[in-house]
Amino acid sequence: MRHLADVPRWCDDVPDFAGPARSARRSLLKAAVLGRREEPGYPPAAMGEDGAAAPSVLMYTVTGTILDISPHVLVLWTELGEQRFLLASSAAAWRGGKVAPAALRQGDHAIVRRQHPSVPVIDRIWAQAGRATGTIIEREGPATLLVDEGPGNGRKIVMIASEAAGRIQVRFPRLEPGYLIDVIGLKHDGFLHALIPATSQPPYRAGHPPAPPLASRHVPDPVNGTAVWHEPGEEPADLLGLAYPALDPEETCERGGPARPECAGDGHEIDPHATGPGCVRLPYLSMGSMLRLRNDCAQRSRTVPVTSCGATARLFCDRCVTCGTSSKGRIADLTMAAFVELGGALEDGCFTATMTIGG
């Protein structure tokens, strides 16, 4: 059994996420120079703008560690200290599968969704939810995989639960180095216990995604596709943001700052930047750019800043079938908190989304 400490990490595994202040500042400067959409003289070919600082606070979602839980009350330790929530009669909990809320454990990392903003009544709880999305780079035995999650995310050990092996093997028939994997499960110290396939395995090797459809004149805005979620990693757990698959090549995860000497020669098993734009054509944006994202399944929208690099999402040319069938390709890799805030269910892995650049 390998431990994560044994796994080498690349120099670019240090995340570069934009904080709310940076997003707000760039939005403000952009609005100052291009004007707001409703102003005369706003360039029609330009991206939209968000004007004032977007509300980057979570309204429905709270993240924290479970201090206590009973059939009616949940106590969480959050950034703001101890918080108590009432459980709605319809409250559902997930911990590797649907469980009664009372079955959750003290010390679990939880993410909960309130029924209404600022009302301490919750209807959904996810505990210890984790996900591994990336390229398989090693396989040890029938059920242990080492997965490279791409720039900014490093590597993760995935152990496929015996009870889920059949289900995962059907959707991911090639659990071999060089192929993609995307599984959801229970997060443990140093590894992910995989329980649910989050998509179907693309038939191509990770480095060969198909080319995107060509767009004449301008890239469509809004754009339709799949929104997925990722674990927070080094980001704050309650960050409302997304990893964008098409960051400006001048400002990607690795190239956001001056290259360090020790980085020379390092690289990921598959460098998403070298595999082309992926199968959906997205406009280049930067850290801090604002996007209006709508969950078409839950009919809920939020303005979300780009907070990290989502280049790995380019490798997946899949569709979300949570509600209907989405257009092909991943357009946003949301933080867990943003995914839940937009009405997504973590165990589904995705929702069909409509994204408007600029909000």
State in angstroms the smallest separation of the CB of 320 from another protein: 8
Pick from 302, 290, 286, 289: which is nearest to 339 by CA? 302
Number of residues that bind another protein (CB under 8 A): 54
User: What is the per-residue binding string for another protein in 247-286, x denoting contact by CB under 8 A?
Assistant: -xxxx-------------------------x-x-xxxxxx
86: number of Cβ within 10 Å? 15
User: What is the per-residue binding string for another protein in 309-338, x denoting contact by CB under 8 A?
Assistant: ---------xx-x---x--x----------
Nearer to another protein, 285 or 345 (CB): 285
Residues 152-171 that bind another protein (CB under 8 A): none
41: contact with another protein by CB under 8 A: yes
12: contact with another protein by CB under 8 A: no
349: contact with another protein by CB under 8 A: no
Residues 172-231 that bind another protein (CB under 8 A): 173-174, 200, 203-205, 208, 210-211, 213-219
State in angstroms the smallest separation of the CB of 335 from another protein: 20
Residues 119-148 that bind another protein (CB under 8 A): none
Nearer to another protein, 30 or 156 (CB): 30
Nearer to another protein, 52 or 263 (CB): 52
Q: What is the largest CA-CA distance in the chain?
A: 64
Nearer to another protein, 83 or 286 (CB): 286
How far apart CA 152 and CA 251 sit, in angstroms, is 13
Residues 73-102 that bind another protein (CB under 8 A): none
Binding site for another protein (CB under 8 A): 26, 28-30, 32-35, 39-41, 43, 45-47, 173-174, 200, 203-205, 208, 210-211, 213-219, 246, 248-251, 277, 279, 281-289, 318-319, 321, 325, 328, 357-358
